[in-house]
């Protein structure tokens, strides 16, 4: 599941948001300016794509916190949110 979500994020950044993502991205790569360069609108689009694809709801506070997150932290957050959705019987 982790690899699938990670690949979904990278593909979304490249193909939907049209962000030039280098091939050497690691889980430690920051999403913001010091890494992938995600700005607020791009970050919002990514969160919407993740919500739709994985049947989760990213709380607004979590979406704001993603500005300083790494790729690995984002993937872990999606896994955690998805686990909560499954536990609540909302698996999508």
pLDDT tens digits, residue range 22-77?
989 999 999 998 899 999 899 999 999 999 999 999 887 666 667 789 999 999 99
The DSSP symbol for 19 reads -
- pTM score: 0.84
pLDDT at position 62 is 62
d(CA 56, CA 42): 18
The band of 8, judged by pLDDT with boundaries at 50, 70 and 90, is very high
The band of 18, judged by pLDDT with boundaries at 50, 70 and 90, is very high
Domains of the chain: 2-21+30-87 (1.10.1200.10)
- The number of angstroms, rounded, from the C-alpha of 38 to the middle of its chain's C-alpha atoms is 11
HEC string of 26-79? CCCCECCCCCCCCCHHHHHHHHHHHHHHHCCCCCHHHHHHHHHCEHHHHHHHHH
The band of 85, judged by pLDDT with boundaries at 50, 70 and 90, is low
| 3 state DSSP class of 87 | helix
């Amino acid at each position: 599941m982790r690899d699938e979500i990670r690949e979904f994020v990278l593909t979304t950044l490249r193909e939907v948001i049209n962000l030039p993502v280098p091939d050497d991205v690691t889980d430690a790569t920051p999403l913001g300016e010091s890494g992938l360069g995600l700005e607020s609108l791009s970050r919002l689009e990514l969160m919407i794509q993740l919500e739709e694809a994985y049947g989760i709801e990213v709380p607004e506070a979590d979406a704001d916190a993603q500005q300083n997150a790494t790729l690995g932290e984002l993937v872990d957050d999606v896994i955690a949110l998805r686990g909560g959705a499954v536990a609540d019987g909302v698996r999508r």
